[in-house]
Amino acid sequence: MTDGHGPVLGFVGGGQLARMSALAAAPMGVRVKVLAAPSDEGAAEVVPDVVVGRPDDPAALRSFAAQVDVLTIDHENVDHATWAELEADGVAVRPGVGTLRHSDKAFQRQEFAAAGLPVPDFLVVGADDPTAAAQVEEFAGRHGGRAVLKASRGGYDGRGVWVLDAAEAPGFLATYEGAPLVVEPLLPLEREVAVLVARRPSGEIAVWPVVETVQVDGMCDEVLAGGGEGATVLPPDLEAEALRVGARVAEVTGAVGVLAVELFVVDGAVVVNEIAPRVHNSGHLTIEGARTSQFEQHVRAVLDWPLGPTGLTAPYVVMRNVVGGASGDPRDRQALALAQVPEAHVHLYGKTSRPARKVGHVTVLGEDLDHCRARAQLAADLLAGD
């Protein structure tokens, strides 16, 4: 606590995002505590001060809040009611509950549409609404016979996203149980990009150059930054529009800390896909690839300290996720990977390797995009094994 040794920053959730944030806080002398569920892996290996408790347990959250000066999140599955009570009691919860509510895809979409932000055509249907199937069929009928259905809560890495033909809607909805669904057209994506924004309680904003994200089976596989005028992945007018939308989303959501805005490029324009009110996979390449990493910036922003510069440190920066699957621990393959790709920056999260689970990432910086991509892929493949 504030005892003459600076603030104590508390992370709710103990995964790799808390881990990498804690690693960024250390050189600044910021003390970090983590509230981690017994099953959480990642942060506990590098943070000595771990409190074991569930982020969705009100009592655990309240007692953790009493031990820190500023509360922030590793993931958004915290108990919202308790978060709101803590905020009302004057605890520095960053982001606040008004921002956290936007992690619900239905709420988010409705708010953004009302704020005049560009979003895909959509509707929201309840799982037990008897007219849901007819609504989805009608919607799909207007959009080429197919629709994308998304669980408004609880999905990630493509889990909770389904592409259906109109005729499949009744069967799907007959067995679907859970949060309301956002229904949208299957869009002809030209590319997917992301804007990372950091915002202080005072309103100061910093935005990194737009990155391109490459998804495989609905999960982020690769992130690219750099190139072109002013080192952007997009033509200058589209880059400017994406940055404007990103900053506007930060204002509309009242974000504090880092916020990630996933955008689709469709018909030469950007539309908002979804946001995450926290540090994000699309920003991992900022650790070596930007003058201030998203993790350092998040710590500075939630402590209401001045933000750092966000320019890239190389003409091109490529990040590739290391996805689990093979037997054994990717740490056992690290020496081999570094022998073949010594320029790769390897980050392993200390998580048990399982298929389709992100267990680490690698970043490569350089002058040539294709070369960086090939080298990052080689390093990630060697670490993942097969």
Ligand X SMILES: Nc1ncnc2c1ncn2[C@@H]1O[C@H](COP(=O)(O)OP(=O)(O)O)[C@@H](O)[C@H]1O
| Interacting residues with ligand X (CB under 6 A) | 120, 148, 150, 155-158, 160-161, 184-187, 189, 192, 215, 218, 262, 273-274
Look at residue 184 and give the partner it binds from Mg ion, ligand X, none, a contact being a CB closer than 5 to 8 Å depending on partner kind: ligand X
Q: Total residues contacting Mg ion (rule CB under 5 A)?
A: 1
Residue 215 in contact with residue 200, Cβ under 8 Å?
no
Q: Which residues pair with residue 279 across a beta bridge?
A: none
Of 152 and 292, which has the nearer Cβ to Mg ion? Answer: 152
Of 154 and 235, which has the nearer Cβ to ligand X? Answer: 154
Of 45 and 157, which has the nearer Cβ to ligand X? Answer: 157
Amino acid identity at 259: L
Of 342 and 355, which has the nearer Cβ to ligand X? Answer: 355
DSSP state, residue 348:
E
Please report which helix (H) or strand (E) contains residue 226, including its range: strand 219-226
DSSP state, residue 51:
E
Q: How far is the CB of 359 from ligand X (least distance, A)?
A: 18
Q: How far is the CB of 262 from Mg ion (least distance, A)?
A: 5
Which residues, at least 6 apart from 59, have a Cβ–Cβ distance to it below 8 Å? Answer: none
Q: How far is the CB of 69 from ligand X (least distance, A)?
A: 31
Q: How far is the CB of 147 from ligand X (least distance, A)?
A: 8
Look at residue 155 and give the partner it binds from ligand X, Mg ion, none, a contact being a CB closer than 5 to 8 Å depending on partner kind: ligand X
Q: How far is the CB of 214 from Mg ion (least distance, A)?
A: 12
Q: How far is the CB of 39 from Mg ion (least distance, A)?
A: 23
Of 40 and 262, which has the nearer Cβ to Mg ion? Answer: 262
Residues 249-278 within binding reach of Mg ion (CB under 5 A): 262
DSSP state, residue 232:
-
Q: How far is the CB of 212 from ligand X (least distance, A)?
A: 12
Please report which helix (H) or strand (E) contains residue 320, including its range: strand 316-323
DSSP 3-state of 119? coil
Q: How far apart are CA 21 and CA 17, in angstroms?
A: 6
- DSSP assignment of 171-217: HHHHH--SS-EEEE-----SEEEEEEEEE-TT--EEEPPPEEEEEET
Of 120 and 209, which has the nearer Cβ to ligand X? Answer: 120
Q: How far apart are CA 354 and CA 351, in angstroms?
A: 9
Q: How far is the CB of 285 from ligand X (least distance, A)?
A: 17
Look at residue 158 and give the partner it binds from ligand X, Mg ion, none, a contact being a CB closer than 5 to 8 Å depending on partner kind: ligand X
Residue 212 in contact with residue 162, Cβ under 8 Å?
no
Residue 338 in contact with residue 380, Cβ under 8 Å?
no
Of 157 and 329, which has the nearer Cβ to Mg ion? Answer: 157
Of 82 and 294, which has the nearer Cβ to Mg ion? Answer: 294
Chain length of the chain? 386
CA 330 to chain centre: 23
Tell me which residues touch Mg ion (CB under 5 A): 262
